[in-house]
Structures are given as C-alpha cells and as structure tokens.
C-alpha cells in the first residue's frame, strides 16, 4: 500500500471517531430519557439504557400536571411550523418569480431592500413587534406566532428561490406564454413543478427555524396551553428539580425527533439549502 | 409596447403583493416603530407616553448592568469567533476529499437541527457538576470536577463550547461548498510546482476562501451579538451577572422586571448600531482582493 492511501485511511478513521464523539451529547439525551429514574444518576455513566422504560415519555406526554404539557406543546409546534412553512413557501415563491423573470420598474430596489433586511437582527424588532401583535389581539394565538415567524424567513426565501429561478432555462415558459397561458398559469403549471427540490429545501429551512424559535414565543405567549415546545421545555426544566433529568430529557428527545426524521430522509436537500444560503457571502 | 410593459409591471406587483405586505407590516414597520419608541417612555400596558428625546440613550450610558451585559456579549462574540471560524474549517478540509464525506457531514450537521433549548438542556445535563458524564470522565483522567456553569471563570467558556457544538455543522457545509468551488487545476499546478500541504493551504485555499470566511464571520457576529437562548437555559445570566447578555437584559427590561418598552428599544438600537459597525468593518477588512 502506498503512503497516501494509509494517510487517507487514518484520516477517515480519526474523523469517524470524532463524529461519534460529536453525537454523544444528543445520544446521552436519548439514553437518559429511556432509563429508570434510579439508573439516571448512577456513576459511572451507563451508555446503554437497560432496563428500558417509557415512563418519562408517558409522564411528559400524558400527565395532567400543569407544567408537563409537552404533548400539547408538540402539537402547537407542529401547527406553528407547518403554518409558517405554508406562508413562507407561497409568498416567497410568488415574490421571487417576478424578481427573477419579469422586467419592471422598482425590481432592483425591492430586491435590494429584501436582501438588506437579512442583516436586521431579530432582537431589534422584538419590542415593536410585540406592540403590533398585541394591538392586533394576537398574543397567545397561532397567528401571532406564525405570521411574524413567516415574515422573518420571507426575505431569505425570496433570495433562495430567485437564485434558483434565474438558473432555470426559459424555453418552456416562453412556449407557454406564446400558447396564450397567463403568467399565473405559467408560474403554477411550469415554474413551480420544476422547482420542487428548492421548494423542499426552503420548506425544511422554514420548518427548522419556526420549530426551534425560542425568544419570540417566550414573549408572545402567556397561556401555558399555547406554548410551543422550546418554551414548554425551558419551563419544564425549572418546574422539576435538577435531579429529574428523566422527564426533561424525554421532552428534549421529543423535540429533536421530527427534524431527525426529516434529516435522515432529506439530508442532501437540507445541505443544499444551507449551501445556497451561504452563496450570498 | 408600453401597454405590454405596463401590464407586466402590474403582474409583477400582484405576484409581489402578499409577500411585500407581510414584509412591510412585520419587518419594516416594527423596525421604524422601534426607533420611535426608543425616544419615548412607553411601557407595557400603558396607552399614552411622552417623548423624552435622547433620555433613554443617555440613561444607558449610566446603566452599569447594561455595560456589563454589553461587555459579556462582546467577550462572547470575540472569544467564540476563532473557534467558530477554525473548527468547521479544519473539519471541512479533512472531509473535503475523504471517503464517507456525506455521512460524516450529516453527523456534524445534525446538532444544528436542534432548538437552542434542546441543546442547552443536553449540555446542562452533560456538565452537571455531580452526576454529569463530562465531569466523571475528567475525574477519571485525574482532572478535578468543576461546576463549569456556576463558576464565573468558566461559565462563558461552557456557553461558547455549547454553541460551537451546535453551529459547527452549519458552517462546515458552507466551507465545504466553498472548497468545492476552488478550481482543481490550481491544486494540480501547485502540486507540480512541489508546494506542500501548508503552502498550498496558505497560498491557494485560504485566499480563495476569503468570501466564504467573510460570510461566516459576518453571520457569526450578527448572531453572537444576539445570543440569548443558550444563556437563558444554561446560566440565566449567572453566576452573578457573569454571563448576562444584551438581549437578555433587553428581554428583562421590556418583559420581566420593568416593562419599559422605550428603554428596551434604545438598547435594541444601540445593539443594531454596534452590529452594523462590526459588519461594515469586517467587509472592509476581509473584502480586500479576492480576484485571482
């Protein structure tokens, strides 16, 4: 064997070990969530949860106690994340299409404004956004979480989709327009079906940020039954004594689950979305 | 022709309308409204308020807790920049050509799909001073156990480590994309000229990666100045005020203790100004010459 081969093998091996170590914190969350309460704090740390128990999941999902409403919070987060995805994908796609494909006055101004807004720190609009949502009567409602969340991701969505639309060959659209199709028909029947991969990437991106957002729902929701997962989890932690890692880790594991599934199914798609997001640099 | 042009303009704005409406109402308006509020004594639950001129801003100059949180935030930002730049870069360089690239990239990326609260809870448990595995293994290696999060000397570093673990995968993907864009021929030419690994890295990879580095630094700095979730879960700003950050101070001023929307808005705009200055500086410093 030649030396470079050996080197490559050693490198791959070292990286694999590092990758396993890298996953340990989240593995530890899952392992803990499946252990009997008495086993959780036992030293040395046991990395195989045996005997296995589902009691912590049962407790956080179905217990009637006021704090452990993880089941409800999970459902809330799903509604919020899916609602955000729907709004972001529709509005961004509609806005990105003319910005990429049509010529009209104000196009560059609009696009520059949208891209410039990506630099606005979310923390800066926190207080006035609260005032606005309060005035609309939207505190502790789904729309009070969905709409601001969608507005936060909209500009990025436009950027991502415009980038993609620009690279699409125009012949099909031209043919459709010549055949008398309206711009709307061209958009929905030709452009959107051809854009499925990038639309999926945007959907996952929007889902991730809505599913994980913490600061805005912490402020905009004050009824416990409306908490999304991150807020419910943070409060779950202060509700239990620090030794009760079982239920807390069960909650944390549940919150990791949907994106873990999406991630395993669509690894490549997510990476593609992130990659394009970096191109603006 | 002009009629067609006009029709196209109408069509374009019809397509844009829903998004722009959302954008105007929930991005542009709050931004400007926040600036206006920062000159008032607006409070939560109070309908009327007066204009105070610059009073909120001058008061910030005397607010020692604000200064502490600003200092902590700046410290966090500066101290985390090098690891955030270097760790994913080293990983990207190692992963770039190797086998198992896709799988390993996926593994390192995975923590980035987690919410900050989940990440915080995982590390809270990992770093538990008594029964946490991290301290156990350190003790096994002969290093005395510590309360990493309760010790002012280490709390911020624990938060930085947590954040590096969380976001490395994101920057790794960005770096890998940047490395893919560097023309192969340059490396072949360098190899023919007998340039070694380090030499190649310094004179080809690093200069051509400059736009990517700029993106990573600017993104990281904008994010870092707004750090909140990690601190909220891991330390609540403690011990004492050792890890108190600007957004946490803002959050407490507006929504926890005083409900002072005017003062909190002034903080937000000071933060905004700092972030802008840093971003512009970085553009100036790193834009440089990227042509080759």
CA atoms within 13 A on the CB side of A62: 5
Q: Does residue B100 or residue A116 have the better pLDDT?
A: A116
Kindly state whether A12 is in contact with chain B, defined as any CB-CB distance less than 8 angstroms: yes
Please check whether residue A63 lies inside any domain of the structure. no
Average pLDDT over residues B37-66: 91
Residue B185 confidence (pLDDT) above 90? no
Q: Which tens digit of pLDDT belongs to each residue from A226-260? A: 999 999 999 888 777 656 888 899 999 999 999 98
User: CB–CB of A281 and B214 under 8 A?
Assistant: yes
Quick one: A48 and A157 in the same domain? Answer: no
Quick one: A8 and A99 in the same domain? Answer: no
Q: Does residue A37 or residue B88 have the better pLDDT?
A: B88
| Average model confidence (pLDDT) across chain A | 89
pLDDT band (50, 70, 90) for residue A19: very high
First-to-last CA distance in chain B?
A: 44
Please check whether residue A189 lies inside any domain of the structure. yes
Please check whether residue A245 lies inside any domain of the structure. no
Under DSSP, is residue A71 helix (H, G, I), strand (E, B) or coil?
helix
Average pLDDT over residues A115-126: 90
pLDDT band (50, 70, 90) for residue B7: confident
pLDDT band (50, 70, 90) for residue A276: low
Quick one: A194 and A121 in the same domain? Answer: yes
State how far residue A38 is from chain B, nearest Cα, in angstroms. 12
Beta bridge partners of B43: B260
Q: How far is CA B64 from CA A67, B61, B263, in A?
A: 35, 8, 14
**Chain A: residue whose CA lies nearest to B165:** A22
Quick one: A119 and A18 in the same domain? Answer: no
Selection from B144-153, B206-215, B241-250 with the highest mean pLDDT: B241-250
User: Model ipTM?
Assistant: 0.91
Share of chain A above pLDDT 70, in %: 91
Q: What is the pLDDT of residue A265?
A: 82
Q: Which tens digit of pLDDT belongs to each residue from B69-98? A: 999 999 999 999 999 999 999 999 999 877
Please check whether residue A163 lies inside any domain of the structure. yes
User: CB–CB of B125 and A248 under 8 A?
Assistant: yes
Nearest CA to A218 among A238, A204, A201, A203?
Answer: A238
Quick one: A263 and A157 in the same domain? Answer: yes
Residue B187 confidence (pLDDT) above 90? no
* A254 and A232 Cβ atoms separated by less than 8 Å: no
Domain B38-287 bears CATH identifier 3.50.50.60? no
* A153 and A209 Cβ atoms separated by less than 8 Å: yes
Rounded to whole angstroms, how far apart are CA atoms A105 and A75?
44
Please check whether residue A164 lies inside any domain of the structure. yes
Chain B residue numbers with beta carbons less than 8 Å from the beta carbon of A274 are 109, 170, 173-174
Q: Which two tokens stand for residue B279?
A: 């971003």
CB contact residues (below 8 A), chain A span 198-257, against chain B: 208, 211-215, 218-219, 229-231, 233-234, 237, 242-243, 245, 248-249, 251-252, 255-256
Quick one: A30 and A88 in the same domain? Answer: no
Quick one: A91 and A196 in the same domain? Answer: yes
User: CB–CB of B255 and A267 under 8 A?
Assistant: no
Q: What is the pLDDT of residue A90?
A: 98
pLDDT band (50, 70, 90) for residue B4: confident
Q: Which two tokens stand for residue B253?
A: 């001023």
State how far residue A124 is from chain B, nearest Cα, in angstroms. 5
Please check whether residue A248 lies inside any domain of the structure. no
Q: Which two tokens stand for residue B131?
A: 């029964």
Rounded to whole angstroms, how far apart are CA atoms A94 and A102?
12
Q: In chain A, how many domains are there?
A: 2
Quick one: A48 and A75 in the same domain? Answer: no
Using alpha carbons only, give the angle B57, B62, B64 rounded to the nearest 5 degrees.
120
User: CB–CB of B25 and A123 under 8 A?
Assistant: no
Quick one: A107 and A31 in the same domain? Answer: no
Q: What range does the domain containing A19 cover?
A: 3-53
Quick one: A34 and A99 in the same domain? Answer: no
Average pLDDT over residues A197-217: 93
Beta bridge partners of B260: B43
Quick one: A81 and A37 in the same domain? Answer: no
pLDDT band (50, 70, 90) for residue A119: confident
CB atoms within 10 A of CB A210: 26
**Chain A: residue whose CA lies nearest to B114:** A256
State phi, psi for B22 to the nearest 5 degrees.
-60, -45
Please check whether residue A77 lies inside any domain of the structure. yes
A132: left (phi > 0), else alpha (psi -120 to 50), else beta? alpha
Residue B1 confidence (pLDDT) above 70? no
Q: What is the pLDDT of residue A279?
A: 53
Nearest CA to B220 among B73, B85, B70?
Answer: B85
What CATH number is associated with residue A102?
1.10.3720.10
Under DSSP, is residue A35 helix (H, G, I), strand (E, B) or coil?
strand
Nearest CA to A250 among A70, A122, A98?
Answer: A70
Quick one: A152 and A262 in the same domain? Answer: yes
Please check whether residue A99 lies inside any domain of the structure. yes
Residue B137 confidence (pLDDT) above 60? yes
């Amino acid at each position: 064997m030649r030396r470079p081969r050996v080197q490559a093998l050693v490198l791959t091996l070292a990286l694999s070990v590092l990758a396993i170590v890298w996953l340990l914190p989240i593995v530890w969350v899952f392992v803990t969530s499946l252990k009997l309460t008495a086993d959780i704090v036992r030293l040395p740390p046991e990395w195989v949860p045996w005997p296995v128990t589902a009691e912590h999941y049962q407790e956080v999902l179905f217990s009637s106690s006021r704090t452990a409403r993880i089941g409800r919070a999970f459902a809330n987060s799903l509604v919020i994340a899916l609602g955000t995805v729907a709004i972001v994908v529709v509005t961004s796609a509609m806005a990105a299409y003319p910005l990429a494909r049509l010529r009209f006055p104000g196009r560059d101004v609009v696009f520059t404004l949208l891209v410039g807004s990506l630099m606005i720190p979310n923390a800066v609009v926190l207080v006035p956004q609260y005032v606005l949502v309060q005035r609309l009567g939207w505190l502790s409602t789904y729309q009070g979480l969905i709409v601001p969340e969608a507005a936060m991701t909209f500009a990025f969505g436009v950027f991502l989709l415009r980038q993609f639309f620009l690279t699409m060959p125009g012949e099909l659209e031209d043919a459709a327009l010549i055949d008398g199709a309206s711009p709307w028909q061209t958009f929905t029947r030709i452009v959107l079906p051809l854009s499925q991969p990038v639309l999926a990437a945007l959907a996952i991106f929007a889902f991730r940020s809505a599913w994980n957002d913490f600061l805005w729902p912490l402020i905009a929701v004050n009824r416990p039954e409306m908490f999304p997962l991150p807020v419910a989890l943070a409060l779950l932690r202060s509700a239990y004594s620090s030794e009760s890692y079982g239920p807390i880790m069960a909650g944390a594991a549940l919150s990791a689950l949907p994106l873990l599934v999406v991630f395993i199914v669509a690894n490549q798609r997510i990476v593609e979305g992130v990659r394009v997001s970096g191109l603006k640099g | 022709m002009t009629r067609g042009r006009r029709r196209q303009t109408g069509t374009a704005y019809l397509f844009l309308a829903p998004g722009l409406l959302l954008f105007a109402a929930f991005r542009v308006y709050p931004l400007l409204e926040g600036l206006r509020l920062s000159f008032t004594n607006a409070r939560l639950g109070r309908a009327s308020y007066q204009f105070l001129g610059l009073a909120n801003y001058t008061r910030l100059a005397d607010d020692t807790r604000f200064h502490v949180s600003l200092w902590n935030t700046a410290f966090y930002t500066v101290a985390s920049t090098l690891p955030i730049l270097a760790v994913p870069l080293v990983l990207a360089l190692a992963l770039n050509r190797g086998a198992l690239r896709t799988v390993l990239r996926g593994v390192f990326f995975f923590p980035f799909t987690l919410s900050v609260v989940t990440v915080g809870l995982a590390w809270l448990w990992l770093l538990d001073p008594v029964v946490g595995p991290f301290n156990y293994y350190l003790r096994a290696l002969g290093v005395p156990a510590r309360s990493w999060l309760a010790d002012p000397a280490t709390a911020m570093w624990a938060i930085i480590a947590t954040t590096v673990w969380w976001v490395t995968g994101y920057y790794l993907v960005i770096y890998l994309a940047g490395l893919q864009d560097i023309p192969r021929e340059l490396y072949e030419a360098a190899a023919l000229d007998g340039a070694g690994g380090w030499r190649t890295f310094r004179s080809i990879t690093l200069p051509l990666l400059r736009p990517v580095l700029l993106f990573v630094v600017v993104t990281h700095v904008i994010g870092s100045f707004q750090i909140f979730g990690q601190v909220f879960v891991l330390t609540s700003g403690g011990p004492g005020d050792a890890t108190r950050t600007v957004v946490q101070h803002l959050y407490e001023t507006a929504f926890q203790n005083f409900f002072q929307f005017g003062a909190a808005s002034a903080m937000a705009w000071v933060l905004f100004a700092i972030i802008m200055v840093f971003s512009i500086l970085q553009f100036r410093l790193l834009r440089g010459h990227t042509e080759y």
